[in-house]
């Protein structure tokens, strides 16, 4: 009996791992880098759960060649990473000096990736706004200034696009603008920590600022894309877009109010950004919910915003059951839960309260995005934090069965969405290459497929890395893993 063939992804499918500059680089005061809003925020007592900050992180600014060697050992096709705005323009502004040492670092980094056969997939902004711009004019709250400064950073005397675009063919403008607006200016749990809650912040207005910030983020993205398309795309041949976060929403039951609540939740979690960019308008539900608090685009702005992404970039982690009711506008005035009506849970609980496994939701979300926005999808983040992994001995943490279960479900959903549902998916980046500084969680929460001993900075591949290496090796035509994945302390990549 002939062996059954394994369903295949496209030959040019990009798979790999993702990171962000502030979460891994460290060396915050090195080689001319200026401070970002996360520098001071993470050093402020009480802002991170374990008191950790980004001063060292995984020391990847100094150890980048070792990290790239690790990527090569995994046989990845691509690596998604972000540039530090304040490493390139320390004060951030369009009239501020650029830092040639920062430019040289990223140029060398890109060269090292390419030398090792790894496609660079670059994010311009992953939450680390230069502190100078926040102090000077309020950062993302100031449309006239921040849009111009972000576009300049993209071009920056021909820095990012001109200096790197000959080698970088995949660009993301912004990572998860929902989190920037809601967590930074609504809930106040991320930098710059603004909120109406005076127990958390001395300044901020959660009823207005997140919607203003979101509007300015969309415009900053759109005008940066306009610049790239007009001045660089034809000669460099790259693609550019934005990556949005958003998780699947299932009605708690079949009642009409909960069915409507699930759609309203998707409108606020996804449509808030995706509808203007791909369809040309804010979701009607948001207009109804916010009234005059929702900013409006001018006709000129909307002409730039609509269609300002060559693809759909998606970060997603979980699925929620949705009940009508509640007063949290950031959740669409609905209630999210993992508990079914019969009392059972959707899936395996992660270390983070907001995350459980539910692979069926991943497939449903991919289909929803494909049908609604009709754009090729790049999955740019997807991952799992094993419960209490940080308290385990290294050898036990390497055997991350819950994370393997998560990726088994995610990859099954991915291949079915492609081969059975006809969804056009171009990439999958697991979060994350390394355990790292997990923002307000500090270092207690670990998302890496590679364990990092923060005392020694030694890297130890986990079982989840082995699973993904094997799976993509089997499901991408002619994709062969040439080197075995180390599995023990003795085989680990040495610091």
Cα distance between residue 229 and residue 100, in whole Å: 25
Q: Which of 177, 161, 269, 172 is nearest to 218 (CA)?
A: 177
CA 441, 392, 42 angle in degrees (round to 5)? 20
Give the three-state DSSP class for 200: coil
Q: Is there a cis peptide before residue 192, judged by omega within 30 degrees of 0?
A: yes
Residues 6+ apart with CB under 8 A from 470: 481
As a whole number of Å, the CA-based R_g of the chain is 21
Structure tokens at 285: 């539900």
Structure tokens at 490: 């003795």
Q: Which of 350, 355, 363, 476 is nearest to 409 (CA)?
A: 363
Q: Is there a cis peptide before residue 23, judged by omega within 30 degrees of 0?
A: no
Cα distance between residue 446 and residue 236, in whole Å: 37
Q: Which stretches of 32-131 are assigned E, i.e. beta strand?
A: 78-82, 119-125
Cα distance between residue 351 and residue 234, in whole Å: 45
**Phi-psi map region of 468: left, alpha, beta (phi>0 left; psi -120 to 50 alpha):** alpha
Distances (CA, A) of 341 to 47, 161, 252, 347, 368: 36, 51, 7, 14, 24
3-state SS, one letter per residue, for 350-369: CCCCCCECCHHHHHHHHHHH
Q: Is 494 a catalytic residue?
A: no
Torsion sign over Cα 369, 371, 373, 378: positive
Distances (CA, A) of 318 to 101, 424, 494: 39, 21, 34
Residue 196, CB-side half-sphere exposure with 13 Å CA sphere = 8
Residues 6+ apart with CB under 8 A from 451: 394, 397, 398, 435, 459, 460, 461, 462
Of 381, 389, 405, 438, the catalytic one is 381
Catalytic residues: 381
């Amino acid at each position: 009996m002939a062996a059954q063939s394994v369903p295949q992804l496209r030959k040019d499918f990009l798979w790999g791992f993702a990171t962000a500059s502030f979460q891994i680089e460290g060396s915050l005061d090195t080689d001319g880098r200026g401070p970002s809003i996360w520098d001071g925020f993470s050093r402020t007592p009480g802002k991170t759960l374990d008191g950790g900050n980004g001063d060292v992180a995984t020391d990847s600014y100094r150890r980048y060649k070792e990290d790239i060697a690790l990527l090569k050992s995994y046989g990845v096709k691509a690596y998604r990473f972000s540039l530090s705005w304040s490493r390139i323009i320390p004060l951030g502004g369009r009239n501020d000096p650029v830092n040639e040492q920062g430019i040289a670092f990223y140029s060398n980094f890109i060269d090292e990736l390419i030398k090792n056969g790894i496609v660079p997939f670059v994010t311009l902004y992953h939450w680390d706004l230069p502190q100078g711009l926040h102090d000077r004019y309020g950062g993302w709250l100031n449309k006239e200034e921040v849009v111009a400064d972000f576009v300049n950073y993209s071009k920056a005397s021909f820095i990012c696009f001109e200096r790197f675009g000959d080698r970088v063919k995949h660009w993301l403008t912004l990572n998860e603008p929902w989190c920037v607006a809601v967590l930074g200016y609504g809930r106040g749990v991320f930098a710059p920590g603004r909120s109406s809650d005076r127990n958390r912040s001395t300044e901020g207005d959660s009823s207005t600022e997140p919607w203003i910030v979101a509007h300015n983020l969309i415009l900053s993205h759109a005008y940066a894309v306009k610049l790239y398309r007009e001045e660089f795309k034809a000669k460099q041949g790259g693609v550019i877009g934005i990556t949005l976060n958003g998780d699947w929403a299932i009605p708690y039951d079949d009642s009409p109010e909960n069915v409507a609540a699930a759609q309203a939740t998707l409108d606020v979690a996804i449509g808030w950004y995706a509808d203007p960019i791909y369809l040309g308008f804010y979701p009607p539900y948001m207009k109804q919910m916010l009234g005059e608090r929702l900013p409006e685009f001018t006709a000129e702005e909307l002409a730039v915003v609509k269609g300002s992404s060559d693809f759909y970039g998606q970060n997603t982690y979980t699925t929620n059951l949705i009940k009508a009711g509640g007063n949290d506008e950031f959740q669409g005035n609905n209630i999210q839960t993992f508990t079914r009506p019969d009392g059972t849970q959707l899936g395996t609980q992660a270390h983070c309260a907001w995350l459980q496994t539910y692979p069926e939701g991943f497939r449903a979300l991919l289909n929803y995005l494909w049908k609604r926005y009709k754009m090729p999808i790049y999955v740019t983040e997807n991952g799992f934090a094993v419960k209490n992994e940080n308290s385990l001995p290294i050898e036990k943490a390497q055997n991350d069965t819950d994370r393997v279960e998560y990726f088994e479900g995610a990859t099954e959903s991915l291949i079915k969405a492609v081969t059975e549902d006809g969804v056009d998916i171009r990439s999958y980046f697991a979060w994350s290459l390394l355990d790292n500084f997990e923002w307000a969680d500090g270092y207690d929460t670990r998302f890496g497929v590679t364990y990092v001993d923060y005392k020694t900075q030694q890297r130890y591949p986990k079982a989840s890395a082995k699973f993904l290496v094997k799976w993509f090796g089997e499901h991408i035509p002619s994709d062969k893993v040439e080197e075995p994945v180390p599995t023990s302390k003795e085989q680990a990549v040495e610091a």
